[in-house]
């Protein structure tokens, strides 16, 4: 009869780690392409086309106007599963809006904190780090380019 004991040299990968990686990869990887923007409107955008990753027609995707993102706060874009923040004037950041605890979407930003409604996880608008709650890891940062005002 064959030996069916676990291989002690095999890495210990839990189902939760695999699912978390798949969820974050599905959201973040398409958004981590090179970035572009609309200099006339001050739109923040993300996207890319071609191997150079320089963005361009059909590749860059506008996330919205910089005027919609308050200083010290942010805006959640549920359709794009992105949260845009502006920790200090003119410093814009983007993170995945998928909470690292149970993959709920964060739903609000106030007083420098990104909030998840499911179990109370809280993240910093500056770097996506966990400030409180059951979230095990920070929100993944997404590269964006802001052009214009």
- Overall average pLDDT of the 16-20 stretch: 50
Q: Is the pLDDT of residue 149 over 70?
A: no
Q: Which range, 7-11, 25-29, 31-35, 84-88, is most confident?
A: 84-88
Q: Which residues contact 84 (CB under 8 A, 6 or more apart)?
A: 44, 63, 64, 68, 69, 74, 75, 77, 92, 93, 94, 144
Contact criterion met (CB below 8 Å) for 106 and 76: yes
pLDDT, tens only, 44-90: 544 333 333 333 344 567 888 899 999 999 999 999 999 999 999 99
């Amino acid at each position: 009869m064959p030996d069916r004991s676990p291989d002690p040299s095999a890495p210990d990968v839990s189902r939760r780690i695999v699912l978390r990686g798949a969820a974050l990869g599905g959201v973040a990887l398409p958004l981590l392409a090179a970035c572009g923007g609309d200099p006339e409107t001050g739109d923040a955008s993300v996207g890319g086309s071609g191997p150079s990753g320089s963005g361009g027609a059909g590749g860059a995707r506008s996330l919205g106007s910089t005027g919609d993102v308050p200083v010290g706060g942010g805006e959640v874009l549920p359709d794009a599963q992105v949260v845009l923040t502006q920790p200090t004037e003119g410093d814009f950041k983007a993170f995945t809006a998928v909470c690292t605890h149970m993959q709920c979407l964060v739903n609000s930003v106030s007083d420098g904190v990104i909030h998840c409604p499911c179990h109370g996880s809280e993240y910093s608008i500056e770097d996506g780090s966990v400030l409180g709650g059951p979230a095990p890891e920070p929100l993944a940062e997404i590269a964006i380019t802001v052009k214009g005002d």
